[in-house]
Amino acid sequence: MKLVSKLPPSDGTPASVRLCPEEAEDMWHLYNLIAPGDRVQATTVRKVSHDSASGERESERVKVKLTVAVEAVDYDADAAQLRVRGRNLTECDHVKLGGA
């Protein structure tokens, strides 16, 4: 795992780190580092549906950057995937503020 940046706590702001996982095992380490109450910022893909002019429902996959207040963290060892569940702290066009 690559440590991109780190900021120590100052004036009441919490410490923050920016990590870049490079191997599948890095997800396991992140699973053990992230706890409920933390804030996680990551890029994810969302399926967005909308109605076309012809009345058909179309969907597309859109890449969005979210900041989430962590409620739970799950790790899937078979797929080496980390799932972070929580409420969205930043609003974007495709995910509302406070959305899950």
For residue 39, the SS3 value is: strand
Determine whether 62 is exposed, middle or buried from the number of CB atoms within 10 Å of its CB (0-12, 13-18, 19+): middle
From CA 16, how far away is CA 22, in angstroms rounded?
Answer: 19
Q: Is residue 59 part of a domain?
A: yes
| Within-domain flag for 69 | yes
Nearest to 93 by CA among 53, 48, 54: 48
Q: Name which of 68, 14, 12 is nearest 44 in CA terms.
A: 68
pTM reported for the whole predicted model? 0.72
Is 100 domain-assigned?
A: no
Domain assignment of residue 56, given as a range = 2-88
DSSP 8-state symbol, 14: P
Length of the chain: 100
pLDDT at 97: 67
Domain assignment of residue 94, yes or no = no
**Tokens 């706890």, residue located:** 35
CATH classification at residue 63: 2.30.30
Mean pLDDT per block of 10 residues along the chain (100 residues) reads: 90 88 92 93 83 80 89 93 90 67
Strand partners, 43: 65
Looking at residue 98, its pLDDT comes to 64
Q: Is residue 97 part of a domain?
A: no
| Total tally of structural domains belonging to the chain | 1
